Amino acid sequence: RKEVEQDPGPFNVPEGATVAFNCTYSNSASQSFFWYRQDCRKEPKLLMSVYSSGNEDGRFTAQLNRASQYISLLIRDSKLSDSATYLCVVVSTDSWGKLQFGAGTQVVVTP
Amino acid sequence: NAGVTQTPKFRILKIGQSMTLQCTQDMNHNYMYWYRQDPGMGLKLIYYSVGAGITDKGEVPNGYNVSRSTTEDFPLRLELAAPSQTSVYFCASSRDRNTGELFFGEGSRLTVL
């Protein structure tokens, strides 16, 4: 079983709609969680951290469910520029801080 | 501010050849990393470094070597290239080991034929 699993998608989303997707992790020692965005043939870039209480950054909302060991990302009012692959990243205390990357969820926003 | 710079961006190698992927950062970060990304897979850590003169293996170190003689530079050496090393390689750096914010280079696309 992979340590970090994501639905690869693609999630095809009409412009202006809302899309949400999850990422599950298997290591109960996981402590820190992040979402990265990766555009086609580009490097990953940090989108946002995921806090225990949930957090928003503009149209993006991240949630953490420790009991079920998953995090989620919700994008409201989707823009064409939101088309990208979203990588889930987990940091565990038993691996000094090495980041575990999910394979990513592809989102395609259509006009 | 250049951030993390990788060279070359593209390279084709023949089986058995060797090469070095260069990585340099100008943010004075102590922590540096090399990842590879294969289609449909998450980034896999090859090697990492916590400072000049200190390196350690990640998940998939076989077939690679690194050195860290300065804070800025963290080259990745491929010895005896194999088709299984065809991948996109990303160098990254971070301010400290517990931050989730890695700064990535633009990547190096390597094909081994």
Distance from CA of A12 to the nearest CA of B (A): 18
In this prediction, residue B19 carries a pLDDT of 96
Cβ-Cβ contacts under 8 Å between A and B: the total is: 48
Strands B19-25 and B4-7: antiparallel
A83 alpha carbon, distance to own chain's centre: 13
Q: Is B49 on the interface with A (CB under 8 A)?
A: no
Q: Which residues of B touch A96 (CB under 8 A)?
A: 97
DSSP B73: B
Q: Cβ–Cβ of B42/A33 closer than 8 Å? A: no
Each residue's pLDDT expressed in tens, for chain A with a length of 111 residues: 678 999 999 999 999 999 999 999 998 888 889 999 999 999 999 999 998 889 999 999 999 999 999 999 999 999 999 999 999 999 887 766 578 899 999 999 999
The angle formed by the CA atoms of residues A23, A29 and A35, to the nearest 5 degrees, is 30
Q: Cβ–Cβ of B42/A104 closer than 8 Å? A: yes
Strands A70-75 and A19-25: antiparallel
ω before B8 within 30° of 0 (cis)?
Answer: yes
In this prediction, residue A95 carries a pLDDT of 66
Nearest CA in chain B to A106: B40
Each residue's pLDDT expressed in tens, for chain B with a length of 113 residues: 689 999 999 999 999 999 999 999 999 999 999 999 998 888 999 999 999 999 999 999 999 999 999 999 999 999 999 999 999 999 999 988 777 889 999 999 999 99
Q: Which residues of B touch A8 (CB under 8 A)?
A: 40
In this prediction, residue A2 carries a pLDDT of 77
Q: Cβ–Cβ of A101/B40 closer than 8 Å? A: no
In this prediction, residue B75 carries a pLDDT of 98
